[in-house]
Amino acid sequence: MSLLPKYSLGVGDRFGHQGPAQLDALILASRQGIEIAPVWNKSHREHTITGSRPADVEAEARAAVQARRWTAPYFVDADHISLKTVDAFLASSNFFTLDVADWIGVDAGSDCVDRFIAREERLVGRHALPGLDRPLEVSRPALAAAARKFLAAIREAGRIYDRICQAKPGAAPVIEVSMDETDRPQTLVELLCILAAVADEGIPVQTIAPRFVGRSNKGVDYVGDPAEFRQQFEDHLALIAFAIRKFQLPGTLKLSVHSGSDKFALYRPMHEALKKFDAGVHLKTAGTTWLEELVGLAAAGGDGLEIAKEVYEASWQRFDEFCAPYASVVDIDRPSLPSPEVVARWDGETFAAALRHDAACPAYSPDVRQLLHVGYRVAAEMGARYTAALEKYAAPIAAYVTRNLYERHIRPLFLGQEARE
């Protein structure tokens, strides 16, 4: 089995140009004594929108690794795949995020639930979790309710995993199970049920993505109480440590935080919790790189700024189309968005200041940032014109991408240091 290192960072890249710049951020971390594995991830939806293929992600990762002489592990993630979409990713991926959100709440059948309860009778009762000062109480009704909600989803994850094993015998890739796209956070009993069912299915899961409290909107800071998040995060870390021993799951099993980019309010609490439990984490940061590309283009002025303005105008005009697929992870105050006529008068620094994630800057707009986060379809429709601009302004864009990942994400989360602008 391929082992995922203790710390890993999902470095998705919409247009496949920022691999070396992303890797430079991890090289800076390694010089500080922290090894973080890069995981290049791109979903079926993103491939469909941008016209890329899974093999393109592998090629980008391989080229970046060669260019920077990276000798540590790296991974290519088939992000949010289902049984319908997994085949296209089989040849080029060594990490698979199994997305079974559509199966959550599907009735697995009373016989299936009864068999699960009979197998896992040992879970009913009181359990001491390492690092927590209160026990976990598991009642039979609560376990049965969790099984009814999640067993069908885990059985579907098992079918996807079996398909991967059939197509890649002996490959033993990293497996993540994604349970984050639900209407509410999982309870500890529910997460215990999920991990028990994963073990029953024989899935060697190394990362699990639960739904956390609060809102993790795309590309902007956490909305909620960081103290409440920390308590849940610690509870989950304790449960994972318990489940590894209880169910003989891989010792590398860790939490995966989706929509994890730019959650600046959470990085210090997460860092402290990880240290307390000596635990690892996988953080997905895909969209933040695309936004740094736009910042770099806008700040460059000239045709770079014109492209950024065109992306904004089209995104503003196609608001409903772009936001609908991301309804659960964007929260835009539409009246607060500047009109395209206003944005057309902006200079490069004004545009960059509105987009750059700096809450201390009066010009920063989380609404603009979220809209442009989901507006990458416009850049994809520009085709060669957009990618030519990325090449023309490669150096300044790369500096923004590296600084963003290292200073704003890696330093506070993995190093426990304040971010620097």
Same domain flag for 225 and 349: no
Which residues are CB-contacts of 405 (< 8 A; sequence separation ≥ 6)? 9, 11, 22, 25, 26, 285, 288, 289
The residue segments making up the domain with residue 126 are: 7-287+409-415
- Average pLDDT of the residues in 374-381: 97
Check whether residue 125 and residue 29 sit in a common domain.
yes
- The token duo for 36 is 């973080």
Q: Is residue 28 part of a domain?
A: yes
Decide: 43 and 52 in contact? Cβ < 8 Å. Answer: no
User: Do residues 21 and 164 share a domain?
Assistant: yes
The crossing angle, in degrees rounded to 10, of helices 366-373 and 286-300 is 110
Bridge partners of 41, per DSSP, are 77
Q: Check whether residue 220 and residue 305 sit in a common domain.
A: no
Residue 421 is assigned to a structural domain of this protein: no
CA 342, distance to chain mean position in Å, is: 33
Q: Does 360 lie in the same domain as 295?
A: yes
- Short-list 342, 335, 286, 288, CA closest to 312: 342
pLDDT bin (cut points 50, 70, 90) of residue 82 is very high
**What CATH code is carried by the domain that includes residue 277?**
3.20.20.70
Task: Give the CA angle between residues 169, 93, 97 to the nearest 5°.
Answer: 100
Q: What residues contact 256, with CB distance under 8 A and at least 6 apart?
A: 97, 176, 178, 207, 208, 209, 281, 282, 283, 284
- Answer whether residue 2 is part of any domain: no
Helix, strand or coil, per DSSP, at residue 311: helix
Asked if 385 and 278 sit in the same domain, the reply is: no
Shared domain for 276 and 322, answered yes or no, is: no
255 forms bridges with which residues in the sheet?
208, 281
The confidence score (pLDDT) of residue 78 equals: 98
The whole-number pLDDT of residue 1 equals: 79
% pLDDT > 70, the chain: 100
DSSP 407: I
Other Cβ atoms within 10 Å of 411 Cβ, number: 22
d(CA 229, CA 214): 7
Pair 274, 227 in one domain = yes
Distance CA 77, CA 58 (A): 9
Within a domain: 420 = no
Average pLDDT estimate for 176-183 = 89
Same domain, 311 and 350: yes
For residue 1, being part of any structural domain is answered with no
User: Are 303 and 253 part of one and the same domain?
Assistant: no
CA 272 – CA 372 distance, rounded (Å)? 32
- The gap from C-alpha 333 to its chain's centroid, in whole angstroms, comes to 24
In whole numbers, what is the pLDDT of the chain averaged over residues? 96
Return the percentage of the chain with pLDDT > 90, whole number. 95
Count: domains in the chain:
2
Short-list 12, 72, 3, CA closest to 36: 72
Q: CB count, 10 Å around CB of 185?
A: 17
Question: Has residue 211 been placed in a domain?
Answer: yes
pLDDT at 421 over 70: no
The pLDDT of residue 419 is above 90:
no
Specify whether 37 is located in the same domain as 69: yes
pLDDT at 182: 83
pLDDT, residue 181, reads 80
> Does residue 381 share a domain with residue 262?
no
User: 103-149, pLDDT tens digit by residue?
Assistant: 999 999 999 999 999 999 999 999 999 999 999 999 999 999 999 99
Q: Is the pLDDT of residue 163 over 70?
A: yes
- What is the residue-wise DSSP string for 45-114? HHHHHHT--HHHHHHHHHHHHHHTT--S--EEEEEEE-TTTGGGGTTT-SEEEEE-GGGTT----HHHHH
328: pLDDT strictly greater than 90: no
